[in-house]
Amino acid sequence: MAVYTVSPDLLRNIEKDEGIYFTDILFVFTQRNNPFKVSKDKNGDIIKSYMDIKENGETIKTWLDLMSFKPSPFEPIDVDLSSIVCEETKFMKVCKETKSQNKLILYTQQNITKHKCENRIVLFEDTAIQILDRDEARQELTSAPNVGDTYINSQVAKQNSQINKSKNN
């Protein structure tokens, strides 16, 4: 299972004609058969930040409604953000506290203003946070390996290959 931190920067900056980022990033997390989750803090500051976004409000509300179903696609992270005022720092903190899954999804790396980003990495409180822009996140979330073997009449198709027009009986 992979856990991602989704920055409000992504949600607020998706343009009307960029709906593919909603379907291929946000709505991937709502599918119950996917191996991905979204991090959230224990007090709900992250969810409140999402709900306060005016841009794309209806789509964000639909996403949050779908995310509310059980089993929850949110991964609760034991971190208190109440003393952090800066939105960027708040999301960096949650991402940092997400054990072995320090991936932050933003609209663009160019929107990181409070922290130094080099080679898609922000060093935050001695933790390397991988920064994914909208296209990198879309690629990572939609190209999840679909591995499995298919057995038909004792013939084996490995790594999602197919068996066609076989004469084996």
Tell me the pLDDT tens digit for each residue of 64-75: 999 999 889 999
Q: Are 49 and 8 in contact (CB under 8 A)?
A: yes
Residue-wise pLDDT for 100-111, tens only, equals: 889 999 999 999
SS3 147: coil
pTM reported for the whole predicted model: 0.83
The pLDDT value given to residue 150: 53
In angstroms, the CA 90 to CA 22 distance is 22
In angstroms, the CA 138 to CA 130 distance is 15
Examine the pLDDT at 47 and tell me if it is beyond 70: yes
| pLDDT band with cut points at 50, 70 and 90 for residue 53 | very high
Examine the pLDDT at 147 and tell me if it is beyond 70: no
Contacts of 41 by beta carbon, 8 Å cutoff, 6+ apart: 76, 77, 79, 80, 81, 94
Examine the pLDDT at 144 and tell me if it is beyond 90: no
The mean of the pLDDT values for the chain is 90
